[in-house]
Structure formats: structure tokens, C-alpha cells
A and B are shown apart, each in its own frame.
Chain A
């Protein structure tokens, strides 16, 4: 523990180096802006900033991206509360109590609760992240391919089962992503697969190209199809933030604790990000909270639960990324991409080979959350004013960043074609209600899933029961099965409930 604290101390000192500090501030501000703009999602924002990091050192690059990730979980909250415009899907639960509170003339208080929740949720998750990461990494050193396959499978299953909506559509999307990941020369036998003789396909399809296309281009096309209808912002004259008193905050301490811890745990589950954390904790609060009957009528618990969980999920999502090399969400997948582009493979070894960098990132998270709260408190007016910016202009520049982002991955025009193709796929998916997240996660985790599965099969003479017979992988496989059957159980309960009602 003392080791961890001393590394963290050095991390804080590194954070105060001008380069790291500048990029931390830039990341926080850009993340807040990204969170505010409805056409620009958090993952999209992180993707679009990625090309800017190519010429940077790895530490400021990761500091920039994680700062954006953290502040993006808060950025859309003010517009949700004040104008009923959620900048991100994360902030949809804030509409229920936050907007209701604003309508009762308590907008300033609602904004104060949001900042407070983001601050506490974020800091709690940072403490958990710092405490758990190194022990988990040490434990992960004992993992073999069956354990890795079980973890990846668990992550893939979670995104399908926790995502809500149609299970079959989510599964198709996931399988599509996994198939995309098989394109190119196979790592075990050197056999070209689905390459159609194209040199660029022989090298495989980069997951960043898929992400830029599906999230970036697909989203812009969707909004273009809606005519870029920007909602005009009403007067921002009387906009203020009023922080809750210590007594008030203490009064709902259980909500703070429960949501922060739950948000961190959900963040740790590969595939479940801030949006799921925000919805799940709101649901938990509505079911088990002290004032569960009043949820939705404009009470602080309805604001604190989703916001604390959303920000807490960031710290959680960084744990599997750094300790296992498995991204827990779309944004961490981009951060993984940034690591790889700088020649660093996240995983258990990173705590031995790049200790300084890892703890600088950890320290930057603490500072970033505090800074985000300060900026959110002071700059509420200009932040909300961003909504007045014409959407067509913003979207045009998003497209341009998508072009540059996709091109600069391999300096190839072919990647631009692939990006456009995945943009169209993203648009079609949106239209036919197929979720994009499972496809993207499948593309990211596909190579790891296949290589760990194939290596296990070769090492254990095609004995698939090995996944269930080894203690760790066995437990994770059991969790995977539970996660897969969870939606069916939920459906069964709904049917039973409906029958009881009728």
C-alpha cells in the first residue's frame, strides 16, 4: 500500500509538469463541450481527438483522453436539467428528476447536486481504481488463455444483456463485429480470410476505423437525415449553481455511497459503460432508495444516483483496461488505441514497465475530477451557450475530423473507404434498431477472443471443458451464463407481472 501511495505521489508531481497540466485542462474543457453538444457523443469526442495525440508523448496523450472521458460524463448534465436536452444518453435519467427540480424553480440546486455527485462519484471510483489496479494486475499475471477467453466472453455477453432492447439484434450486432475482426491474415496459420485479394484487408480492419465510421460518420448522417434541427436555447441570464450544504449531502450519504460503488463496479464489467451505470443506478435507487416513491418528482436522489454512477464508471472502466488490456467501454477502447499507437500494450506488465506513466494517469484523474467540478461550477453560462452553435457547422467539422482520424491510422485512402462503409452501416443499424456498441466491442475484443480460444484449444487438445474446469475461468464462465440468461429472467418477470396486473 505504501508503494502505491508513493507512486501516486510521484504521479501528482508529474501531473504538475506544464505539458501534462495543459493537456489535462484542455481535456477537461473539450470533454465538457463534447458533453454539451447533442450531436457529439462522448465516445465520438474521444475518437475525434485521437489524431491530435499522434505526435505527443504517451503520458500527455493518455492524460488528455482520460480527462475528456471524465468530464464528458458531466458535460451534458446542465443542458439536461435546464433545457431537457441530454447531451449524452448518460444524462437521460437526469431528465426525470433534474428537469423536474428545475421546473420547480430549483435549477441552481439541481446543478449543485450534479456537480457534487460527479465529484464524489469520481473521487470514490479513483480511490477504488488506485487501490485495486496493482493487486489485480499481479493476480492477472497468473492468468492463462482460458481465463482471458472467459473474461472477454463475459464482457461481450454483458454488453448484450445489460444493453436493454432486443437481445437478438444485440447478438447479431456483436457477431457482426466479431466477424469484422476475423478479416485479414489469421494469426495462427497465416491464412488470409475474407480479404478478397485487397492488401488493406489482408492487414485487417482497424477497430478505430470501425469506431470512427459507425459512431462519427453514422451519427452525422443520422442527424443530417433529421435536418440538423438545433433546438434554440432559451435565455441563460439567470443561470447559477448552488451547492448543497454538508448536512443536505450527508442526508443522502447512502445514495452517494451506493451509486459511486455500483457505478465503479459496472464500469469494471467489460462492455458496460457510463450510460448503463447511469440507468442501472437510477433503477436501483427507484427500487431500494429511502424515498423510492418520490423518484421522478424532482428529488436530489434522482440526480445524485445517475450522475455519481456515470462519473464513477470511468475509474472502474480503467481497471480492466490497464490491468488486463481489455477495454471496458467505447471510450476506453479509444484510449487502448492511443496506448497501442504509442507502442505500449496495456496489461499486467504495464505496472512493471511503465509505473510512472500509469500513476501519472491515476493522479490526473483525481485532479481532473476536481478541476471539472470547478470549471462546471464557474463556467455554466458559456458552457450552455455552446448549444447555440449551428449544428451543421459542428457536424461538418466532425466529418473532417473523421476523415483525418481514419486516414492517419495507416496513412491509407482505403481506410477512408472502410470508414464511409462503416458510417453507412452505423446509419442503417440506427434505422433498423440494431445497437452499434456490441458491434464495436466485438471488433475490439474479437482478436483477443479468437487468439485466446484457439491457443486454449491447441494447448488443451480441443478440450472445451477446460474453460469450466479451471477455477477462475469456471467462475467467470458461470457469471457469463448468468449474464446471458438475465434478460430472459427479466422478460419472464415482466410477463408474470403483467399477468398479475391484468
Chain B
């Protein structure tokens, strides 16, 4: 029962703490407003104050009025409706996405995208190797042609030898 309450309060408590931190930060803005005029801190402070008030209200509601019976019902409901979870895949997928953003400026869009497409489809439990390979190659080429040749988006080329590789592929595709 107490654990359930803590679980429910947790997100509001986190939001409350973050709001307090940002409220303090807003109080430190340096500006020169005319006397009597609202400064640039007013609007964010107003919003953060409202956020804190809503969080406090919700925490108080859970602490004071939350009934055990309702909780049991909710928990029971969740148990029957929750589909199978794939937390491992989710973590790998998220890490891969972060890695893509980190490596795209080093490896360049072409190589990094090819690897990302290849691995993300495998992580997504797709097992037809040739389809994955074909999709990764053709997808990368298609996106490079569309966005670099037609839409003129300057996608990252990478650094050092990876840049040389990107330039070579672009030359082969007749771009630049």
C-alpha cells in the first residue's frame, strides 16, 4: 500500500524538484527592467509556480485521499491488459540511437546511417538478412540522393578517412 503510494507520488515529486531548481535559476536572470515593469523572469516563474502547485495538489491528493481498494482494482486491471515487455530491446535501441547521434559527425551520414538501419532492424526482431541488407543499402542511397541532391540538405560527411569514403560514395552517386 505504502509502496504503491510512493510509486504514484514519484513522478510528481521529481517534477516538483525540477521545477524548484528551475525556479531558483529563473531568480538569477540578469536584466535591466524599468521599475514596475515585469522582467523576463516573470513568465517562467509563473509557469514553474503553477507546475509546483499542481504537483503539490496531486501529491496531497494521493497521500490524503487515495484508497487501497481503488489501487487494487487499478493494479488488477493493469495485470490483465499489459502486453509482453521487451525492455532489453528498448535499452539497446535507445543506446543505438544515442550512438548514432554521437557518431554521425565522425563516421558521416552515409556509413552511420547504413549501420544504424542494419542494426535497428535486427534489434527490432526482423530476421530476413537479405531484406535487411538490401533495405539498409538502398535506404541509405535513396535518402542521400533525395536529401543531398534534390532537397540540398548538407548532411554530415564525417571526419578523416570517413570523410574520404563519404566523398567517394557521393561522387559515385553523381552528387557535387
Chain A interface residues toward B at CB < 8 A = 51-52, 54-55, 168, 171-172, 175-176, 178-179, 182, 186, 188-189, 191-194, 217, 220-221, 224-229, 390-393, 395-397, 399-400, 403-404, 407-408, 411, 413, 416-417, 420, 423-424, 432, 434, 450, 453-454, 457-458, 461-462
Contact = CB atoms under 8 A, between A and B. Distances in A.
Closest 8 CB pairs of A and B: A392-B124, A186-B40, A225-B90, A227-B86, A392-B126, A191-B40, A175-B51, A191-B31
A335 to B, nearest CB: 18
A179 B44 CA distance: 6
Contacts of B40: 186, 188-189, 191, 193
B33 A189 contact: yes
Contacts of A228: 124-126
Nearest to B36: A462
Nearest to A404: B147
A191 B26 CA distance: 11
A226 B124 contact: no
Contact of B147 (A51, A424, A454): A51
Given A193-B44, A225-B89, A457-B38, A420 B113 contact: no
B105 A413 contact: yes
A207 to B, nearest CB: 16
Contacts of B84: 226-227, 229
Nearest to A413: B105
B85 interface: yes
Nearest to A449: B43
A420 B121 contact: no
Interface in B143-164: 143, 146-147, 150-156
Contacts, number: 164
A182 B97 contact: no
Interface in B18-56: 22, 25-26, 29-33, 36-44, 47-48, 50-51, 54-55
A189 B139 CA distance: 47
Contacts of B57: 168
B104 interface: yes
Given A51-B147, A226-B85, A400-B139, A172 B55 contact: yes
Interface of B: 11-12, 15, 22, 25-26, 29-33, 36-44, 47-48, 50-51, 54-55, 57-58, 83-87, 89-90, 93-94, 97-98, 100-101, 104-105, 113, 116-117, 120-121, 123-126, 131, 135, 139, 143, 146-147, 150-156
Nearest to B30: A191
Given A179-B47, A221-B93, A399 B120 contact: yes
A425 to B, nearest CB: 12
A227 B101 contact: no
A395 B135 CA distance: 12
A227 B124 CA distance: 7
19 contacts: A168-B57, A172-B15, A175-B50, A189-B31, A189-B40, A191-B29, A221-B90, A224-B93, A225-B85, A226-B83, A228-B124, A391-B124, A393-B124, A395-B124, A403-B101, A403-B104, A457-B38, A461-B36, A462-B38
A172 B51 contact: yes
Nearest to A458: B37
Contact of B120 (A178, A186, A396, A457): A396
A424 B86 CA distance: 16
A54 B57 CA distance: 45
Given A52-B146, A55-B152, A168-B58, 13 more contacts: A168-B54, A172-B51, A191-B29, A217-B97, A221-B90, A224-B124, A227-B89, A229-B83, A396-B121, A397-B117, A404-B143, A411-B153, A461-B36
